[in-house]
Amino acid sequence: MRTLHWFRNDLRLQDNPALLAACQQGAVLPVFILDTDEPARSALGGASRAWLHRSLTALNASLNNNLVMLKGSAQTLIPDLCARYQIEAVTWNRGYEPWTIQRDSGLKTALKARGLAVTSFNGALLFEPWDTVKKDGFPYRVYTPFYKHCMANLSPRIPGVLNATRIRVVPHAEQAGLESLALRPPVTWDDAMLTDWTPGEQGAQRRLQHFLATGMGDYREGRDFPAKRSVSGLSAHLHFGEISPHQVLASARAESPSDDNQAHFIKELVWREFSYNLLYHFPTLQEKNLQAKFDHFPWEANEALLKAWQTGQTGYPIVDAGMRELWQTGSMHNRVRMIVASFLVKNLRLHWHHGERWFWDCLVDADLASNSASWQWAAGCGCDAAPYFRIFNPTTQGQRFDPDGEYTRRYVPELLGLPNQYLYEPWACPVEISRAAGIVMGKDYPAPIVEVKASREAALLAFSEMKRRAAG
Ligand SMILES: Cc1cc2nc3c(=O)[nH]c(=O)nc-3n(C[C@H](O)[C@H](O)[C@H](O)COP(=O)(O)OP(=O)(O)OC[C@H]3O[C@@H](n4cnc5c(N)ncnc54)[C@H](O)[C@@H]3O)c2cc1C
């Protein structure tokens, strides 16, 4: 039998249930489509496109340059390929974004009507979102019971090993190739951004092994300190499916001692599951506040403040370090993501949509589920969100989580010579000391764009105003 395997966010050969099923049926036509039907709002951001270009290069190499890569409407291209190459079956791994679900179910019906066998699989999650519901059938809205449910029902799959050399490819004459997708920007800034990353299945496996050898042992404590290398850096690999959560879980369990570090790491993998659970059950997660009362929040509109935040020019060193890390590397440490998000929505009182969109464009791990759920969490309007009155103080956060300034100075080098004592309050540094460090405050480094105490009070007032409006 000839099967078309449609690669989407499952850009790997190992532990790929849909690809494995296709191979077991006979010859395979491996296809990737950059779907132009995707709604603009969820179209790939710049950093994701750059990553995807390299990930497809790697996948194509492991398929001996046999990957068919096309740009256009999947609804047209898939039936077309099936007809031209006498395909009898189609396989894919499921996606959970609302438009993906809609497209896939339409396509499944259309292909079945033509007599093709169409099978979809779970290649991206530990649990299907429809399986992780409460006893009353409603979805979980709070993380801890969700986590307990997951741990009680976790049945790790032994990752199926699919040897790439065993894939028998349907001979084809498709010429278009990777360049026709035009994923890379015309001005190639992406090489610099991706110097520390190796997109693709091998890069993912190497990063996992490196983390297990060097980071896992300190994960529980170290994961909050951006200067430490205690986190896995696997999120983009997981997003593009270059590695599966089952592979990560199985390796973590096999190669690290079963202790607090391992348990904490698994908890984070379950946060990813929780985000997908929210997206599946609340498909407007990217747009609509999960707590409707936040529809009445009096957000500010201020382009200058937004620009200062985006470009890392807020005058708060830990915030600026995070935003510049994002711009330079396509990533940002989780602790710092929480700090910059709190700063945007609480100190600047700019709508979380601005942050969600900026992250979407800049992050290599931009993921509709995790990004939307995390922004709603940070803004206080999500399920099980951080309470609105919990407002991170960027000065004390910096002092606590980057006490020596190693991370902050890496991305804010103009503060290199400033003593630690003033690093997170550079405005308070006596002029003679900042001069000796070679900095003129307000010229070499911006003065704070808002005052933390006053903006905190204004945020709490706005929160009260929101409650008043929601009640009336
Ligand atoms: C405002 C904001 C936006 C975010 N946007 C994204 C996003 O677009 N894509 C994304 O993958 N993560 C997002 N996160 C979650 C988290 O910051 C990243 O998953 C994490 O920093 C990735 O680094 P890591 O792979 O080293 O994580 P590790 O600490 O090594 O964790 C292992 C894996 O668990 C998952 N994970 C960890 N923390 C979370 C979390 N809080 N929520 C969901 N999954 C988690 C990731 O898949 C990660 O790779 C966001 C967090 C915030 C506060």
Contact by Cβ (8 Å): 222, 232: no
CA distance 224 to 333: 8
Residues with CB under 6 A from ligand 1: 223, 231-235, 238-239, 268-269, 271-272, 275, 334, 337-338, 341, 359, 363, 365-367, 370-371, 374-375, 378
Q: Which of 337, 328, 425, 331 is nearest to 415 (CA)?
A: 425
Dihedral Cα 291, 297, 300, 306, nearest 10 deg: -10
Question: Any alpha helices (H) in 194-244, and if so which ranges?
Answer: 201-214, 219-222, 235-239
What would the mean pLDDT of 99-122 be, rounded to a whole number?
97
Q: What is the pLDDT of residue 441?
A: 92
Q: What is the value of pTM for the model shown? A: 0.97
CA of 262 to the centre of ligand 1 (A): 16
Q: Which residue is it, tokens 């809609």?
A: 102
> Who's near 466: CB < 8 A, 6+ residues apart?
293, 294, 296, 297, 298
Q: What is the pLDDT of residue 438?
A: 92
Q: What percent of the chain lies above the pLDDT cut of 90?
A: 90
Candidate from 334, 397, 401 with most ligand 1 atoms within 8 A of CB, to mutate:
334
Q: Which residues pair with 35 in a beta bridge?
A: 72
Residue 160 reports pLDDT greater than 70: no
CATH of 292-471, one of 3.80.30.20, 1.25.50.10, 1.20.1250.20, 1.10.579.10: 1.10.579.10
Residue 165 reports pLDDT greater than 70: no
Nearest CA to ligand 1 atom 6: 371
What are the tens digits of pLDDT across the range 1-58?
999 999 999 999 999 999 999 999 999 999 999 999 999 888 999 999 999 999 999 9
Q: What is the pLDDT of residue 164?
A: 67
Residue type present at position 291:
Q
What are the tens digits of pLDDT across the range 362-385?
999 999 999 999 999 999 999 887
Dihedral Cα 207, 212, 214, 219, nearest 10 deg: 110
Residue 189 reports pLDDT greater than 80: yes
CATH topology of domain 125-159+202-281: 1.25.40
Tokens, residue 335: 């602790």
Averaged confidence pLDDT in the chain: 95
CATH class, range 2-124: alpha beta
What would the mean pLDDT of 294-309 be, rounded to a whole number?
97
Kindly name the residue from 88, 271, 302, 427 that is annotated as catalytic: 271
Provide the residue ranges of all domains of the chain, joining segments of one domain with +.
2-124, 125-159+202-281, 292-471
CA of 264 to the centre of ligand 1 (A): 13
Residue 163 reports pLDDT greater than 80: no
